[in-house]
């Protein structure tokens, strides 16, 4: 039987005198080539259509008034817009009592109406109102869409030499746009959906607000699985670098420069907590997140852990996150978060700037490891003059030191209810008088063992020996 099959396959055909088995082989080969060609064409056309979707033109979401004080965030499901639940940001201008614009923000993967599960890039849809259209220029409160190619060029293919910093959820690169604008590009790591969450949080937290002491969000990149945020570049380091790190090679921050940075930070937090709705709780206030510009103005950055607190909400329950040493005790113990958690972190930041010490330093003796505990011990022992950073050449006056320490002590009060609001902290730091109001003093006299009362008594005893206020160094630092 095998011999017969071989004989049949070996017969010559009319096709160029080719044998039967040769014709069969050629036919099978042609069939495979045709199948591969069809698959290749399908993949190419699909890639082109996806690229066309991803390359969104650099249009902008409408200009937002600088006077905006309120932004409402609502979860909506918009059938006509195809994507799943989005976020409708209704922006109100309190000065005119009218809605200036509505923007539906959809971040993530969408689904087409016909049930096809193919993915799409996330997209922003502008719902036009009052004839408002997108405008060019950098005055937009939302910023540009950037393509992956734009940011690849800006950062020299995300070169290691351009890395400004790294965090748990991303890497920040220095970049320069085609028009010469310096930028900081935050590339969010795709950690099992964390990139999507991080991106959403930062957009919700500061995409719609503007304040001179908040780092400005210039734009976004949403392409495939990539999620990137483009910020203004602040080129004078951060407070952590000036107090403990690389910027110390330029000198040490003067007292006046430290107060200016802290006052700017306090104003930014007061704005986030009290001037907008929903309020924003930063949740990661620390020295490395306080950027500093050439004029020593503070720029609060990194809103990846921020939480929104809507009207009527006194707190939100969340997984405890933040930086060890700055986290408020009640939040660490219960997971209950509100703006008073930021107030505690600011108090630690204030003590860090006064003393030049890290919030937690295991290289010090056991009783000095925790900055807050050590500071309370020093004030209670009437040794407050000894806590000032020895690197400050022109020491602050006793009055200025008293004001700063009392403000810090109030901010780090273990009882969150007794901590001041950030707007009160701003007034305390700006005031020439004692930062604790009379009614608060009467209330605190009931607490016999209160450390703040001890510090007030000690400061009152030394008030007559105030030093004259030291003069400001125009550079903000003294040379080493």
* Averaged pLDDT for residues 208-226: 89
Residues 256 and 159 in one domain: no
Residues 199 and 337 in one domain: no
User: Which of 42-51, 189-198, 285-294, 426-435 has the highest average model confidence (pLDDT)?
Assistant: 285-294
- 187 annotated as a binding-site residue: yes
Supply the CATH number for residue 90's domain: 3.30.200.20
pLDDT at 51: 62
Residues 207 and 256 in one domain: no
Tell me whether residue 202 is in a domain: yes
Q: What span, in angstroms and rounded, lies between the C-alpha atoms of 405 and 387?
A: 10
Supply the CATH number for residue 271's domain: 1.10.510.10
For residue 99, name the pLDDT band (cuts at 50, 70, 90).
very low
Tell me whether residue 18 is in a domain: no
For residue 180, name the pLDDT band (cuts at 50, 70, 90).
very high
Tell me whether residue 3 is in a domain: no
Residues 181 and 124 in one domain: yes
- For residue 406, the enclosing domain spans 239-478
Q: Per-residue pLDDT for 210 more than 60?
A: yes
* Averaged pLDDT for residues 49-53: 60
Q: What is the pLDDT of residues 56-75, one digit of tens each?
A: 443 333 333 333 333 333 33
Q: What is the pLDDT of residues 423-459, one digit of tens each?
A: 999 999 998 765 455 444 444 444 434 444 444 444 5
Q: What percent of the chain has pLDDT over 70?
A: 68
pLDDT at 44: 85
**Through-space distance between the first and last CA atoms of the chain, rounded to whole angstroms:** 100
Lowest mean pLDDT among 196-200, 255-259, 327-331, 399-403: 196-200
Residues 87 and 130 in one domain: yes
pLDDT at 433: 63
Tell me whether residue 306 is in a domain: yes
Q: Total domain count for the chain? A: 2
Residues 200 and 251 in one domain: no
Q: What percent of the chain has pLDDT over 90?
A: 44
Tell me whether residue 250 is in a domain: yes
Residues 329 and 412 in one domain: yes
pLDDT at 19: 80
Q: What are phi and psi of 105, to 5 degrees?
A: -105, 120
Domain boundary among 197, 232, 267: 232
* Averaged pLDDT for residues 329-354: 95
Tell me whether residue 128 is in a domain: yes
Domain boundary among 208, 232, 256: 232
Residues 388 and 352 in one domain: yes
Lowest mean pLDDT among 18-22, 148-152, 312-316: 312-316
Tell me whether residue 159 is in a domain: yes
pLDDT at 197: 76
Q: Which residue has the higher pLDDT, 40 or 357?
A: 357
pLDDT at 463: 47
Residues 245 and 172 in one domain: no
Q: What is the pLDDT of residues 122-136, one digit of tens each?
A: 333 333 333 333 333
Residues 226 and 243 in one domain: no
284 catalytic? Reply is yes
Residues 170 and 279 in one domain: no
By CB atoms closer than 10 A (0-12, 13-18, 19+), residue 253 is buried
Residues 183 and 199 in one domain: yes
Tell me whether residue 327 is in a domain: yes
For residue 188, name the pLDDT band (cuts at 50, 70, 90).
confident
Domain boundary among 179, 202, 232: 232
**From 150, 284, 293, 342, the catalytic residue:** 284
Q: Per-residue pLDDT for 198 more than 90?
A: no
Q: Per-residue pLDDT for 101 more than 60?
A: no
């Amino acid at each position: 039987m095998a011999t017969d099959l071989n004989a049949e396959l070996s017969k010559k055909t009319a096709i160029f005198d080719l044998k039967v088995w040769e014709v069969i082989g050629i036919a099978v080969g042609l069939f495979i080539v045709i199948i591969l060609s069809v698959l290749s064409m399908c993949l190419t056309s699909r890639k082109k259509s996806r690229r066309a979707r991803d390359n969104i033109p650099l249009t902008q979401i409408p200009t937002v008034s600088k006077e905006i004080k309120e932004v409402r965030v609502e979860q909506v499901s918009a059938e006509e817009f195809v994507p799943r639940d989005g976020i409708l940001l209704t922006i109100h201008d309190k000065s005119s009592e009218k809605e200036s614009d509505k923007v539906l923000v959809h971040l993530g993967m969408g689904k087409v109406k016909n049930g096809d599960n193919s993915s799409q890039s996330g997209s922003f849809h502008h719902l036009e109102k009052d004839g408002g259209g997108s405008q060019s220029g950098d005055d937009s409160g939302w910023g540009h869409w950037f393509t992956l190619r734009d940011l690849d060029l800006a950062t020299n293919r995300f070169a290691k030499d351009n890395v400004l910093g790294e965090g748990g959820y991303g890497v920040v690169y220095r970049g320069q746009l085609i028009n010469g604008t310096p930028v900081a590009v935050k590339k969010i790591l795709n950690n099992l959906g964390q990139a999507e969450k991080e991106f959403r949080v930062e957009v919700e937290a500061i995409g719609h607000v503007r304040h001179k002491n908040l780092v400005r969000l210039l734009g976004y990149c949403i392409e495939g699985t990539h999620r990137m945020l483009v910020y203004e570049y602040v080129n004078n380091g951060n407070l952590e670098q000036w107090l403990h790190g690389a910027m110390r090679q330029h000198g040490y921050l003067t007292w006046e420069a430290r107060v200016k940075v802290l006052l700017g930070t306090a104003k930014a937090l007061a704005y986030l907590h009290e001037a907008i709705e929903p309020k924003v709780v930063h949740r990661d206030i620390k020295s490395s997140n306080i950027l500093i510009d050439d004029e020593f103005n503070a720029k609060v950055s990194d809103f990846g852990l921020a939480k929104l607190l809507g009207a009527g909400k006194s707190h939100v329950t969340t997984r405890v996150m933040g930086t060890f040493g700055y986290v408020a005790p009640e939040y660490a113990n219960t997971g209950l978060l509100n703006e008073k958690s930021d107030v505690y972190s600011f108090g630690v930041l204030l003590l860090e700037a006064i003393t030049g010490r890290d919030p937690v330093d295991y290289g010090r003796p056991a009783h000095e490891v925790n900055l807050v505990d050590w500071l309370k011990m020093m004030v209670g022992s009437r040794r407050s003059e000894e806590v000032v950073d020895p690197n400050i050449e022109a020491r602050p006056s006793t009055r200025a030191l008293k004001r700063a320490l009392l403000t810090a002590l109030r901010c780090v009060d273990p009882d969150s209810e007794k901590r001041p609001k950030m707007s009160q902290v701003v007034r305390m730091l700006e005031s020439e008088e004692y930062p604790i109001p009379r009614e608060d003093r009467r209330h605190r006299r009931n607490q016999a063992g209160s450390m703040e009362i001890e510090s007030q008594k000690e400061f009152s005893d030394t008030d007559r020996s105030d030093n004259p206020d030291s003069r400001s160094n125009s550079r903000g630092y003294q040379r080493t």
